[in-house]
Amino acid sequence: LLKKAQQIRQAASSEETPELTESNLALARLYRTSGKTAEAEPLLKKVLDWRSRRYGDSHPEVAAILREMAEIF
């Protein structure tokens, strides 16, 4: 269901939105906790890129994603 929600949000907009970013994050977390780190990594990178552009590299939201990415390496 998370994958379907992510696909719907992605198809509905030609640009990254906060809602699509949150869908990517939820799906990445599901993949990570299921041991599917190869699937989680590109989604986390998308979230990191979006948050870095929106908030700047030193924002706590960016740090939180970096922490999540560190857990899969």
51-63 confidence digits (pLDDT tens): 999 999 999 999 9
pTM of the entire predicted model: 0.83
Confidence of residue 12 (pLDDT cuts 50, 70, 90): confident
CB 69 within 8 A of CB 41: yes
- Please state, in angstroms and as integers, the Cα–Cα distance from residue 9 to each residue in 17, 43, 50, 63, following that order: 9, 14, 15, 25
72 pLDDT band, cuts 50/70/90, is: confident
Rg for the chain (alpha carbons), in Å?
12
Q: Determine the distance from the C-alpha atom of residue 2 to the mean position of all C-alpha atoms in its chain, rounded to a whole number.
A: 12
Contact 18, 43 (CB under 8 A): no
